[in-house]
Amino acid sequence: MASYATSSPATDVNLVTAALDGDRHALARLISLVEDQDAAAQDALRALFPHTGRAHLIGVTGPPGSGKSTLVNVLTQRFRGSGRTVGIIAVDPSSPFSGGALLGDRVRMRDLAGDPGVFVRSMATRGSLGGLAQATNDVVKVLDAAGFDAVLIETVGAGQSEVEIASTAHTTIVLEAPGMGDEVQALKAGLMEIADILVVNKADRPGAARTARALEMVIDRNSAASEDGWQPPILQTVALDGSGVPELVQAIDDHRQHRCTTGLLAERERRRIKGELVGVLQRELLDRLLSRLGPEELGQWVERVAARKVDVYTVASRLCETPS
C-alpha cells in the first residue's frame, strides 16, 4: 500500500478555493499533493471535478531530438496571442534506480516565464510505462479545473511506447525530424496510428521533404481505417523561428471542431475516462492485495519462485483467489 503524507482538510479546502480563484501558489501545491499521493489529494480532486471538462487536451509526442519542447514553447506563445490560457505538463524520464529526474520546467520554456496565462509543470515518469507519469491524468484535471483553455502534454519521447498519450489527449500531435532515420521511423505504425496531426519539425534541414513523403505514404495506406473521416494533415515547421506554427494552430483548431461536429470528441472523452478508471482500479486492487499480503508473505512466495517450486502465474492466481 502506498504511504500517504498527512495534511489538514481545512488547508486543502482553502487550496482548492484559491486554485479555482487563480492562485498560482495554491495550484502548485495542489499538483504537489497529487504527485505525492497525499491522503487529501483525492478529496481535493473530488472538489475540483465538477469544474473540469472544458480544456482542450493536446498531446505532443515523438522521438527524442525532434524538438517537442521548442514547439510547445512556440505553440503556447501563439495560443496566448489569441487570448487563450495554457497549462503545460512536461513529462520527464526518471532514473529507474534513484527515481530522480531533471525536471524540464527549470531549463525549458523560459520565454513563458512571468506570463500569468501560462502555467508550466514538469513531472517525472517514476517508472510508469507509455511515456506518461501515473499522476498525469490527475494533474490534467487540476489544470482543467483551474480554467486553462488548453492543456499541452509533452511526453518523454521514447518512440513506440508513446502511444499512451492517445488515451489522454483529445488531439495528438506526432513530431518527426529529418536525419533521424525518418523513413524507418515513419513506418512504425504505433506512432502513426495515434496521430491526429503529423509534424515534420526542423523542416529547414535537408531531407524534410523526403520525411514528409514517407509520412504521406503511411497515412495513405492507413486512411481507410479512419474512424471519422479525419485525414491527419502533414505539416512542416521550424519551431526555432516559428515557421509553419500558425498552420499548426489552425490544424489543432480544425481537429477539435471536426471532433465536436461528428460527436467523436465526446466519444474520445468516454474512452479516456474508461482507460483512466481501469487504471485506477488496477492500482487500487493491487495496493489492497499487497497490503493484505504483507512483505513477509510476499518474500516467502518470492523465495519459492526463486527455488523453482512454483511459477509466478500460479502464485498470482492463488493470491487473487484468497479471500480478503
pLDDT digits (tens, 9 = 90+) for 270-308: 888 888 888 889 888 998 999 999 999 999 999 999 999
Give one DSSP letter per residue of 134-199, joined into a string: TTHHHHHHHHHHTT-SEEEEE----GGGGGGGGGT-SEEEEEE-TTSSHHHHHT-HHHHHH-SEEE
pLDDT in tens, 49-58: 999 999 999 9
Q: Closest Cα to residue 26, out of 89, 158, 98, 119?
A: 119
Q: Report the chain's C-alpha Rg in angstroms.
A: 21
Residue 148 has a pLDDT of 97
Residues with Cβ within 8 Å of 242's Cβ and at least 6 positions away in sequence, in order, are 74, 78
User: What is the CB neighbour count within 10 angstroms for residue 237?
Assistant: 26
Question: pLDDT tens across 87-114, in order?
Answer: 999 887 644 333 444 444 445 566 777 8
